[in-house]
Amino acid sequence: MAGSFPRRALISVSDKTGLAELAKGLNELGFEIVSTGGTRAFLQQQGAKVIDIAEYTGFPEIMDGRVKTLHPKVHGAILGRPNVPHHAEAIAAHGIIPFELVVVNLYPFEATIAKPGCTTEDAIENIDIGGPSMVRSAAKNHEHVGIVTCPSQYERVLTELRTGKLSHALRCELAAAAFACTACYDRAIADYMAGMVGKLVAEEVPEGVTVDGAKFPRVLHLDFERRMPLRYGENPHQAAAFFVERNADATTLAAFEKLHGKELSYNNLLDLDSAMAIVREFDQPAAVVIKHNNPCGCAISDSLSSAFEKAYAGDPVSAFGGIFGLNRVVDLATAEQLCLPDRFVEAIIAPGFTDEAFQLLTTKPKWKNNVRLLRVPGWPSSTSAMTASMDYRRVTGGLLVQTRDDVADPESEWKVVTNRQPTDAELRDLRFAWRLCKHVKSNAIVFAKDGAITGTGAGQMSRLDSSEIAAKKSGDRCRGGVVASDAFFPFRDGIDQAAKAGILAAIQPGGSRNDPEVIAAANEHGMTMIFTGRRHFKH
């Protein structure tokens, strides 16, 4: 910056985090601070020396603050290049004092639209105009101007300014971050407006007609921030990282806190997400053991330690080296179960850990230094919806998008299709098995009894194969229990297999052309069967 000008910084922010310290540091370095409205008032309250932007431009803020920085003396001070002769002439002719630093963060548009009851008027008024204009101008002219868009940048900026001026490398880095900031901001606004258009179009279309674009935008923009690198991908030769949604809800995996243990891998996070999704299905204390993204054990009970003990007993061999999910704060009794000899735990995710449980898990077992203990502070309940409403899956050259399979299955739509009605105990187990079944890879078969898995068959090409695996895993433990199937039984052989294992009740979607044959088989075996009318494939 040419030496003939005073050092000036323009500050206009919504987020005041760290702002007092930044302004104090700039004043100490001899900067004059020019500011607007609420930012100016805040800085003056903090004792900073501030020049009102209206004093600089000679033009007042008008139209409820909609017009305050959209002025040639502001943008000339940001975009001007004093080392270019005709720029220098214009700067002198119009009394422009160039800004060395521009500090701007934008109106909280995304936070506003996320609030319950947000109106269209509220959303529109939180679309920042002057802010993005200043950010883009400063980023374009980063050769002469430092653009600061996030409080996390303040300390580094002050450190460099104390040594003289901002380095070219930092100015380039700040400019890149600034353009990324405005791109994300504009994308959020564009998506919101597209949603408004979709609603308007849907309102004009007769009921029952599907409108292209009413549910899914014509162009899909995804906005994720890298949270951390991972140890590796699905295999050690694959690199991986974890990206999270901006403003992700505290009830999602994005909000986890790792309290202990070694680095996480790609597979760890997949399994931890599945574990959390399963135990959140239940209001009672629940525990699940995940292996290769399938539950090999799961149970509900009156206490967390009892639920864990029953879940582990579902398949102790497969549980070795598993991922464990619990829907209550882990207490000492549960930790003692986890630490029994010959048990090996990779990771545990829960709402929290008592001090005694944490101490035991991190000092007693052989795996004490490696086990990953994760806490999700806003742990979801069975009645709270996870915030991610869409599922995404990459395919070669494209992306598959669908709504999440997290809609409750109303029991009012269930139908008992056999001669025998389920007993109360059977109905409780059918509910348990049905909730669990949708989290098992297709073809999915779940055998359960007394609120616990006795055996699962997952990911087989034949439903009969899955039934045979579930029966083998269960042994005699499933006698008097129930079976859940994620899709209809295409033939009676699956029911015959379940009856042979001692199963007395079944739950499935129904809908096969062979339903009469399957129902007849259930009646022959004295089984009761419920049709839910809804399939739960998971590929």
Amino acid residing at 109: F
Q: Are strands 482-485 and 8-12 parallel, antiparallel or unpaired?
A: unpaired
Distances (CA, A) of 54 to 58, 76, 96, 145, 472: 5, 15, 13, 21, 80
Contacts of 341 (CB under 8 A, 6+ apart): none
Q: How far apart are the first and last CA of the chain?
A: 60
Instruction: Round to whole Å and give the CA distance between 57 and 479.
Output: 84
Q: How many CB atoms lie within 10 A of CB 164?
A: 7
Give me the catalytic one of 87, 140, 165, 262. 140
237 in catalytic set: no
Q: Which residue has the tokens 């900031």?
A: 181
Across 42-200, the runs of DSSP E, i.e. the strands, are 50-52, 101-104, 146-148
Instruction: Round to whole Å and give the CA distance between 457 and 485.
Output: 10
Instruction: Round to whole Å and give the CA distance between 324 and 148.
Output: 43
Lookup: tokens for 448: 């359960």
Contacts of 371 (CB under 8 A, 6+ apart): 260, 261, 345, 346, 347, 348, 361, 362, 365
Half-sphere exposure (Cβ direction) of 18: Cα atoms closer than 13 Å: 17
291 in catalytic set: no
Give me the catalytic one of 87, 262, 292, 368. 292
> 353-359 — which CB contacts under 8 Å span 24+ positions?
353/259, 353/329, 354/329, 354/330, 356/331, 356/332, 357/330, 357/331, 357/332, 358/259, 358/260, 358/330
Active site residues: 140, 292
